[in-house]
Amino acid sequence: MGTNQPDSLQQYALENLPPPTEVSGVTAANFAEKVTNHYRPVVLRGFAAHWPLVQAAKQALPEAAAYLTARSNNKPQKLVSLPAQTSGRLFYNNAINGMNFSASQQPLNTAIDTMLKSSAAGSPHYCVQCVPVADNFSALLPELNNPLLDPSPKPFIWLGTRVTVPAHFDEASNIAVVAAGKRRFTLFPPEQVANLYIGPLDLTPAGQPISMVNLQQPDLQAHPLYANAYQAGLSVELDAGDAIYIPSPWWHSVTSLSDFNVLVNYWWSNAYVASALPLPMLLHAIQAFNHMPLGERAAWQSMLQHYLFNPADPLAHIPAEARGVQGKLTPQLAQGLHQWLAAQLNR
């Protein structure tokens, strides 16, 4: 790094970024009008202030932990352990052929107890990620009501100490609720992908591609284009009870700022079947197109532009009822397409 790095760090401080818009008075009836139709992150302050878990957390973080352990099914979970020198940042090892953390199976309540005892300086950082509430906190499930969504999206819970998840995207829309502690969310529009220096698509800390940029200490010599991403960024600190809506595939990094943190989130998508998720299709497209001769590749670029990204209606010449999978995708059509794709890929 250059000698001006301290000035650079201040120049790119996340606290200096503008926050997402805060919206109040959101209901299921006006959720689309006020939030999702704008395709921007939105902060919902006090969204879950009435949850008993949030109320316990506002008394004290150990109270939130006790509230959870009393309602835990105590099934084994993967407890991620990050050495102190990582500063809790989930990332790759130095060779970028593995990760900078280890994991072990622990009963959930044991994992929570380990987190509570790890606040001393020099201690490892811990987290348990993406735990289905229905299977692991069944007694808690009725309390985590989300009035903006229908009952089908089931909540997941994330527990940990001071841990940072690098910028990544989700393949579904997301409402993330801070249930205990504080968290900072830093977000970038999807079109900033070229400025975020994305790591390997097939080797990731938790399944989704991540930015190689350390947002807390950006190295502008290694990642000079991050300066452009920063100018488009948003960042906000949320307290227990606050929530944020994150549209897919907005890039977002999440930093836990307290010794014990709890997040509850809900994902939902309009896709009928899992095969419609876009990341597997992107990986297959890379496999299909990257080794073509340039002329053939350019031809397929024209095809994709026409069928996927055409601002005009590329199907105007076909009656609506005859458009098949290019038209309105019913569950029956989606399932048939899924079976056809599976057969093609297994030839």
Q: For residues 316 and 230, what is the distance between their CA atoms, to the nearest angstrom?
A: 41
Domain that holds residue 333: 274-345
Pick from 99, 140, 39, 82: which is nearest to 256 by CA?
82
The domain boundary residue, chosen from 220, 238, 268: 268
Residue 43 · residue 210 · CB < 8 Å: no
Q: Are residues 160 and 259 in the same domain?
A: yes
Instruction: Please state the rounded mean pLDDT for residues 221-231.
Output: 96
* Residue 70: predicted pLDDT: 97
Q: Are residues 256 and 338 in the same domain?
A: no
Q: Are residues 263 and 179 in the same domain?
A: yes
In total, how many domains does the chain have?
2
Pick from 63, 72, 20: which is nearest to 176 by CA?
20
- CA distances 189 to 73, 82, 217, 233, 247, Å, are 38, 29, 20, 7, 10
Pick from 184, 179, 138: which is nearest to 56 by CA?
179
Residue 186 · residue 17 · CB < 8 Å: yes
* Residue 8: predicted pLDDT: 61
Residue 276 has pLDDT above 80, yes or no: no
Q: What is the DSSP letter of 269?
A: -
The token duo for 250 is 């907005």
Q: Are residues 303 and 240 in the same domain?
A: no
Question: Which H or E run includes 324?
Answer: none
Q: Are residues 157 and 111 in the same domain?
A: yes
Instruction: Please state the rounded mean pLDDT for residues 298-315.
Output: 86
**Rounded (to 5) percent helix, strand, coil in the chain:** 35, 25, 45
Q: What percent of the chain has pLDDT over 90?
A: 71
Q: Are residues 33 and 127 in the same domain?
A: yes
Instruction: Please state the rounded mean pLDDT for residues 94-116.
Output: 96
Q: Are residues 303 and 208 in the same domain?
A: no
The pLDDT-based confidence of 271 (bands split at 50, 70, 90) is low
Q: Are residues 284 and 239 in the same domain?
A: no
Residue 274 has pLDDT above 80, yes or no: no
* Residue position matching structure tokens 């760090």: 9
- Residue 190 belongs to a domain with what CATH number? 2.60.120.650
* Residue 4: predicted pLDDT: 44
Residue 2 has pLDDT above 50, yes or no: no
Work out the burial of residue 37: count CB atoms within 10 Å of its CB; fewer than 13 is exposed, 13-18 middle, 19 or more buried.
Answer: exposed
Q: Are residues 331 and 212 in the same domain?
A: no
Residue 76 · residue 105 · CB < 8 Å: yes
Question: Which H or E run includes 234?
Answer: strand 234-238
The pLDDT-based confidence of 320 (bands split at 50, 70, 90) is confident
Q: For residues 54 and 47, what is the distance between their CA atoms, to the nearest angstrom?
A: 10
Q: What is the CA radius of gyration of the chain?
A: 22
**pLDDT tens per residue, range 53-104:** 999 999 999 999 999 999 999 999 999 999 999 999 999 999 999 999 999 9
Q: Are residues 16 and 43 in the same domain?
A: yes
The overall average pLDDT reported for the chain is 91
Q: Are residues 59 and 186 in the same domain?
A: yes
The domain boundary residue, chosen from 251, 268, 285: 268
Q: Are residues 245 and 328 in the same domain?
A: no
The answer for residues whose C-beta is within 8 angstroms of residue 16's C-beta and 6 or more apart is none
